[in-house]
Each structure stands twice: as C-alpha cells, then as structure tokens.
Amino acid sequence: MRIVYVLTSLGMGGAERQVLALAARMAGLGHTVAIVALRPRLSQEWATALDVIHLDMRRNPVSVFAGMMRARRFLKGFRPDLIHSHSFHANFVARLMGISLRAKVLSTVHNVYEGGWHRMLAYRLTDFLSVRTTAVSGAAAERFVRLKAVPQRKCVVVTNGIDTAEFAPDQGRRVRTRVAMEAGESFIWLTAGRIAPAKDIPNLLRAFALVRAAHPATQLWIAGEGEPMATQEKVRWLGLRRDLPALLDAADGFVLGSAWEGMPLVIGEAMAMEKAVVATDVGGVREMVGDEGVLVAAGDSSALADGMIGLMQRNAEEREKLGQAARIRIERGFSMEARANRWEELYQDLIARGGSKKTSRTS
C-alpha cells in the first residue's frame, strides 16, 4: 500500500509521536509511506527517517491556498492508496485534498474535545469526504457520535499502541537517572505532557501541596513543553525532555490530573514501565488503566491527593505488583505491534471494499 499520514505538525506531543511510530511500523511492514505536516518546520520536532513534506501553512488564506496547491502536487506524484489524517485541522485539510484526487481519506480524532460547535459542524458537513473516522478511545467515539460530528455507522475505535520494547524498566538506568537528578531518597511523582489547559496542571499542583503536607520527602517532576505556571517547593519543571523512559525509571509513581483526554499515550508508557499510576477518570483513561491503577474524579484536588497518598502508603512490594500487572495489561491489550496489525487490516479493508459504510466497532 501507498499511505500518506497528515498531521498538523511534528511537534513534541503524544499524538504526533503515536502517528510517527505507526508510520514507521507501516514502512517496516513493506508499505510506501510519507508524512505531510500542515505547519512550517518547528524548532522542536520528533525525529523520523520517513519522507516529510511541510506545507508551510499559516493563519492566512494565501498561505493556506499555497499549501493546498503544494499538497496537491505532491499527492498527484505520490498516488496514495489511502490518506490517514489526525486531529481536526489535518482531518479537515485532508478531506479537502482528497476531493480532486479521488483518494480515500481516513480521519482520526485523538481527544474527546477537539473544539467547539463550529468544528463539530465542520466534521459533520465534510463527513462524506472521509471513508471512516476512527477514535483513540470509546469515550471519544461516543462523544463525537453524540454530537453528530460522526455517524455511528462510520465510527471505529482503534486505541493507541505502546512500544513495549522502548518502554521497559531498567534498574541500572533508574539508579543512574536518580543520581543525575539528585533524587536522593525522595518519593518521586512524575507527570508528562504539553503544558496546556487539558492537563489541568493547577489541579495537580493543589493536590501535590496536600501530598507534601502528609509526606514531606516527596518531589513532583513535570516534564513537558510550555512555561512553568508557579514556583512551588519540591516541584521541578523539567521542560521538554526526550528521555521519558529514563525519567519513568527514576520515578516511583506516575500521576495525571487532566481535565479531559482522548487516550493519553503517556499513561500507557508509564504502565509499560511498571509504574503505579494515579489519574483522573477522563476520556479513555479508564479504558487503558482498567483495574491496574487508581482513578479519581477530574478537578478534585483532594481526591487526587488521596489517591497519591494511598499509593505511597502501600509497601514497595505492593506497588511493584501493581506495576507488573500494569505492564502485562499493556502487553496484552495495547502493544504497538498489535495496533499496527489492526491498522494494516483496516487499511486493506477500506481499500479493498471502497470504504463500505457497514457498521464497525473495535478496540
């Protein structure tokens, strides 16, 4: 197959990393793959060995039109069997690009919230230009169907995949990273992700203040692109990091205080690293965590703190068993290998059957 993946950018987010990992797997399976990014090249991007075309689109009509023409020229030469786009802007542009090329377009939504009513209306009005819309979680799929942004008969759930080889615990790396980070004997909580409203960092900071009051020998490390929000004792703002497996090794627990999510990749990565997880019960978090972590209500700092304290009060053996069970859950249900195979099957089905609108739901 000849597959083009369309993203808004290759910025350092979980969705972007997931798409690039999937594209690399498809290339490894022998398919011809290219990446189209709508935005100009960024100073910080995920690295990839695949061919990448930047359309250099900016927020003005002339730039968008020029980008569309650039995309059309590239796609006419590439002759894709399928265009697989991700998140609102890329989904909308890919659907428009597919019109003149008569190419099959597969759209993917990565969050329960991708904008307000006007974006949901845009999804609804352009749905006929996409052969399928997939969602990374059942929660995301249900919301988009409920808002009539996607008809249920065309909605498919394919959850994120985790590279369990890359995200595997390493005791030696844990020791080295803790020494380098001067962690000492502190209990380290790690959170990771772009600092944005969805992550509700203020909720986490309020919870951590309660945790520290009960357990002073505790630190919170926040890894992610964006400006620090506040100065707080024992909170370390690490900024953008490319060594997440090492940071997860060094941590004793992983926490996520999000207000909303789709299917947060970092939760699965922490679980694969055998970390005990405390997270807000939003989006597809429950679908990934199951019974192998602690879930609390969104926006409830006291409940989040209670979950963190409760986990800290378990002995090391109990936390270790919880972490091992978490990795087993990821290996069995969310490995990238299994997800790549599922995507390949879906691609072949859409191409062979011309995107038939038969009802199809899968995880």
Residue 110 confidence class, pLDDT cut points 50, 70, 90? very high
Angstrom distance (rounded) from CA 310 to CA 349: 47
- Are 203 and 301 a contacting pair, CB within 8 Å? yes
Residue 362 confidence class, pLDDT cut points 50, 70, 90? very low
Angstrom distance (rounded) from CA 311 to CA 282: 20
Q: What is the pLDDT of residues 121-178, one digit of tens each?
A: 999 999 999 999 999 999 999 999 999 999 999 999 999 999 999 999 999 999 999 9
Which helix or strand (DSSP H or E) is residue 296 part of?
strand 294-296
Q: What is the pLDDT of residues 23-35, one digit of tens each?
A: 999 999 999 999 9
Q: What is the pLDDT of residues 176-226, one digit of tens each?
A: 999 999 999 999 999 999 999 999 999 999 999 999 999 999 999 999 988
Angstrom distance (rounded) from CA 271 to CA 162: 10
Rg (CA), the chain: 21
Q: Which residues pair with 162 in a beta bridge?
A: 335
**Which tokens sit at 353?**
């059957």
Q: Amino acid letter at 22?
A: L
What does each C-alpha distance from 160 to 173, 174, 287, 288, 345 come to in angstroms? Answer: 26, 26, 11, 9, 15
Question: For position 189, what pLDDT does the model report?
Answer: 98
Q: Kindly tell me if the per-residue pLDDT of 232 is higher than 50.
A: yes
- Are 247 and 190 a contacting pair, CB within 8 Å? yes
Same fold, 2-161+336-353 and 171-333: yes
Topology at the third CATH level for domain 2-161+336-353: Rossmann fold (3.40.50)
Question: For position 14, what pLDDT does the model report?
Answer: 86
CA 45 to chain centre: 15
Question: For position 311, what pLDDT does the model report?
Answer: 96
Q: Which residues pair with 237 in a beta bridge?
A: 222
Mean pLDDT of 328-354: 92
First to last CA, the chain: 23
Helices (H), 234-284: 244-250, 265-272
Q: Which residues pair with 235 in a beta bridge?
A: 220
Q: Kindly tell me if the per-residue pLDDT of 361 is higher than 70.
A: no
pTM to 2 decimal places: 0.89
Residue 48, phi then psi, degrees to nearest 5: -150, 145
Angstrom distance (rounded) from CA 7 to CA 214: 44
Question: For position 230, what pLDDT does the model report?
Answer: 78
Q: What is the pLDDT of residues 275-309, one digit of tens each?
A: 999 999 999 999 999 999 999 999 999 999 999 99
What mean pLDDT is reported for the chain?
A: 93
- Are 10 and 46 a contacting pair, CB within 8 Å? yes
Return the SS3 of 37.
strand
Angstrom distance (rounded) from CA 286 to CA 90: 27
Position with higher pLDDT, 310 vs 43: 310
Topology at the third CATH level for domain 171-333: Rossmann fold (3.40.50)
Q: What is the pLDDT of residues 39-81, one digit of tens each?
A: 999 988 999 999 999 999 998 999 999 999 999 999 999 999 9
Angstrom distance (rounded) from CA 323 to CA 14: 22
Angstrom distance (rounded) from CA 285 to CA 275: 15
Question: For position 271, what pLDDT does the model report?
Answer: 98
Residue 354 confidence class, pLDDT cut points 50, 70, 90? low
Domain boundaries, the chain: 2-161+336-353, 171-333
Angstrom distance (rounded) from CA 6 to CA 24: 14
Q: Which residue has the tokens 């960024």?
A: 42
Q: Kindly tell me if the per-residue pLDDT of 235 is higher than 70.
A: yes
Question: For position 359, what pLDDT does the model report?
Answer: 35
Return the SS3 of 276.
strand
